[in-house]
Chains A and B, each alone.
Chain A
Amino acid sequence: MTVFLLCGGGVFAAPGVYQKPSDFVKSSLGQIPATQAIKLTGAQQARVRAMLGKNYKSKSIRYWSAKGKTAYILEEIGKTEDITTGIVVKGGRIDAVKVLIYRETHGGEVARHSFTRQLRGVSLKSDLQLSKNPKNIAGATLSVRALTKLARLALYLETLK
């Protein structure tokens, strides 16, 4: 294990693909609607930076809307690798969260349904914090934090549509 870590195994490890983003959007919305995007202004980027601790990886963030729901495919670094996550928002509350691609070597417990279901029904408070934070998972603290950030980001993006 130590040799693996020394060789930067985490960097080149094969990612765990739980579901293709297109399959997530299709299963969540019943179809794949036309792509739309939110182009973040300077002020919006500043708020995103406050939430994530850094700028989001791209200035425009795509989303897909149908049946009163909006699906976001967002990415955030857990420890060193991106965690690709699908989040569905309905009526200002999180309807579903699913880890789609997990690339880290540790902390994959956040992909379990028992964790992601804690975020269901959560909304965004005026201070851009979640109405209820998920419980931490020992050994997966950074991944938990990354998913919490993405949940906040998705709810914030919903207010910008």
Chain B
Amino acid sequence: MKPDAPRRRRHRSRQGHRWIGLAAAFPLLWLALSGILLNHAATFGLNDRMVTSAWILRHYNQIPEGDPVGVLVGDRVVAGWNGLLFLDSKQIPLQGELQGAAALKGQLVVATDEEIGIFNGSDELVLELDELSLPGVPVEGISVQEGRLLVYSKAQWYRLSEDFFTSEEVPEIVSSLPPDLLAADHRKELSEAMQTRRAMPLSRVILDAHSGSLFGWPGWVITDLSALSLLVLTVLGLRLFPRPRS
């Protein structure tokens, strides 16, 4: 080996360290900053802060499969789409597939195969009824007769009490309005609302940005290269560490 070889090697290491460090500086800063934020997400309230930016939410592709179905109750549209329920394009906290909806004494009743929700005039969920309080599940339809809610389940109609907690069989056949495919304009409105209103917790968005997945394959490549550059910087830094003899 020539006597100036260590010096040349040191020079190459320094140059490599400098330029790789410059190229990776921003991604590494982001990884460090987002890592700290994620470690203290609860302290900073990042789990409670919601991201509503449409361009970010579109990345999450939150449109369910299949066709939405709906029921018109006066001027209200109750829609169900692959297990998600909506009232005028705003998601409501019920589970199951939509089976029907009806107005009852100033309230709105929404039925899925798993449960029934009673909403007040302000669209607040007043009461949720499931298998524990219903005469039977799956619910297959609902109707309103003489100010009382009727539920169809297991080939039988039941009339619920005023407080909804007890029921009696109804011998006669009752007509009900099943959900139908949503009209094109309502479907478009629902799709747009889902893309723009399904807010995500800020911590989730930061996590995906930290891993690079939020930005698709370019994000993964940048994150991987940043991680690799950190390894290279460490090796180059170690090579620079021994001081040359003067």
Q: Judge whether B213 and A35 touch: CB under 8 Å.
A: no
Q: Which among B117, B120, B125, B132 is the interface contact of A62 at CB below 8 angstroms?
A: B132
Q: A8-B60, A20-B131, A82-B93 are in contact. Are A34 and B125 (CB under 8 A)?
A: no
Closest chain-A Cβ to B168's Cβ sits at a distance in Å of 14
Interface of B is mostly: loop
B112-152 interface (Cβ within 8 A of A): 117, 120, 124-128, 130-133
Residues of chain A lying within 8 A (CB to CB) of residue B82: 12
Q: Judge whether B127 and A58 touch: CB under 8 Å.
A: yes
Q: A12-B64, A12-B82, A141-B42 are in contact. Are A59 and B165 (CB under 8 A)?
A: no
- Nearest residue (CB) in B for A20 is B131
Whether A126 is near chain B, meaning CB under 8 Å from some CB there, is no
Q: Which among B93, B163, B211 is the interface contact of A2 at CB below 8 angstroms?
A: B211
A49-101 interface (Cβ within 8 A of B): 53, 57-60, 62, 64, 73, 79-80, 82
Closest chain-B Cβ to A76's Cβ sits at a distance in Å of 11
Q: Judge whether A80 and B204 touch: CB under 8 Å.
A: yes
One digit per residue, 1 when the CB lies within 8 angstroms of any chain B CB and 0 when it does not, for chain A 24-37 equals 01000000101111
Whether A6 is near chain B, meaning CB under 8 Å from some CB there, is yes
One digit per residue, 1 when the CB lies within 8 angstroms of any chain B CB and 0 when it does not, for chain A 88-129 equals 000000000000000000000000000000000000000000
Q: Can you name 5 A-B residue pairings with CB atoms under 8 Å?
A: A2-B220, A6-B60, A20-B131, A35-B165, A59-B125
